[in-house]
Amino acid sequence: MNGSTGDIADDFYHRFKEDIQLMKTIGLDSFRFSISWTRIFPNGKLTGGVNQLGVKFYNDLINELLSNGIKPFVTLLHFDPPQALEDEYGGPLSPRFVNDFVAYADFCFETFGDRVKKWVTINEPNMYAMRAYDFGSFAPGRCSQWMGTTTGCAVPRGDSSTEPYVAGHHFLLSHAKIVKLYRKKYKEKQKGEIGITTTTHWFEPKYRALPSSQLAARRVLDFMFGWFAHPIAHGEYPESMRSLVGDRLPRFTEEQADLVKGSIDFLGVNYYTMYYAEDAPSTARIFAATNPSYSTDSRAIQSSTYMSKTNYSNC
């Protein structure tokens, strides 16, 4: 390995036993990893065949962890839906994605669930929906044409005003159906728990005395964390999202709302940092109205700097 390509990175596939010994040495008692969907179903579906070498790898990994006193926390989807499903019907943008995801999860529960007691359906679905379908910086790299390639977008032929919400909606429905399956078919005999992991930042009003800044901080938190946490808690998207996104935000049927509500045994939160938020100025609001996207719909500006009271005595 001379580093000329990224084909081999940390080489966990071959060196996981060494890594587990390092984990044991530093006293870790749990390890969270994701299963690669296409390492199990190369074509995205059970009907397309099972990669037994992939199944063996995860069996060996789980067994090695347990033999060293380390509990596996397993994530089913971490930013990598199968390319075959993307080619066939558009991946997470299609409602067909939901049942294929459930079938893959069912196989994993049946195959590994006798030893795995903590399951995560999706890692950071909010981040993935945003990066893949608004900015276009994650695969499949879709964004609106007006964004161009400034965000790293590979396919500026998408729709940043609708596709993040559509993909996010299908992620929520997939998650809820997978949880229902696990609770009905596996939970009693396997004695495990299942949840979802979302990401968030914390947002403080940039100008703390201004109601507009206070409301902006709440809105961006709704759009980032509430996007998934609110439906899981209440069966509906946050009111601020419904108000600002309007008909571009999908709606749950009554049956779907009941399915999504309460669909966790635990909620994982990946917290990275804090930002200040302020109400978007009129020029930004005009731009957002003519160029709608997930990243502009909150009508708020985020920044990492704070204007001190020394310079702005009324703030």
Position 4 scores a pLDDT of 83
Q: Any idea which architecture 12-303 has in CATH?
A: Alpha-Beta Barrel (3.20)
Q: In the predicted model, is pLDDT for residue 309 greater than 50?
A: no
Rounded distance, CA 38 to CA 220, Å?
A: 34
| 205: CB partners within 8 A, 6+ apart | 213, 214, 216, 217, 276, 277, 278
- Which of 106, 111, 28, 98 has the alpha carbon at shortest distance from 68? 28
Residue-wise pLDDT tens digits, 167-208: 999 999 999 999 999 999 999 999 999 999 999 999 999 999
The DSSP 8-state label assigned to residue 225 in this structure reads: I
The span from the CA of 313 to the CA of 7, in Å, is: 55
Q: Which of 47, 79, 69, 65 is nearest to 112 (CA)?
A: 65
**Which comes out higher in pLDDT, residue 157 or 314?**
157
Adjacent-strand bridge partners of 278: 301
Enter the DSSP assignment of 82: -
User: pLDDT tens digit string along 100-115?
Assistant: 999 999 999 999 999 9
Q: Please count the residues of the chain.
A: 315
Nearest to 179 by CA among 106, 238, 231, 125: 106
Tokens 């070498």, residue?
Answer: 53
Please give the pLDDT value at position 310.
Answer: 36
Which among 195, 196, 202 has a CA at the least distance from the CA of 272? 202
Q: Which two tokens stand for residue 265?
A: 């045994």
236-254 tens-digit pLDDT: 999 999 999 999 999 999 9
| HSE-CB of 64 using CA atoms within 13 angstroms | 19
Residue type, 102: V
CA dihedral over 96, 102, 105, 110, signed as positive or negative: negative
State the pLDDT at residue 313.
Answer: 37
Closest CA to 159 of 139, 138, 144, 140: 144
Residue 118 pairs in a beta bridge with 73, 193
Handedness of CA 31, 32, 37, 38 (dihedral sign): negative
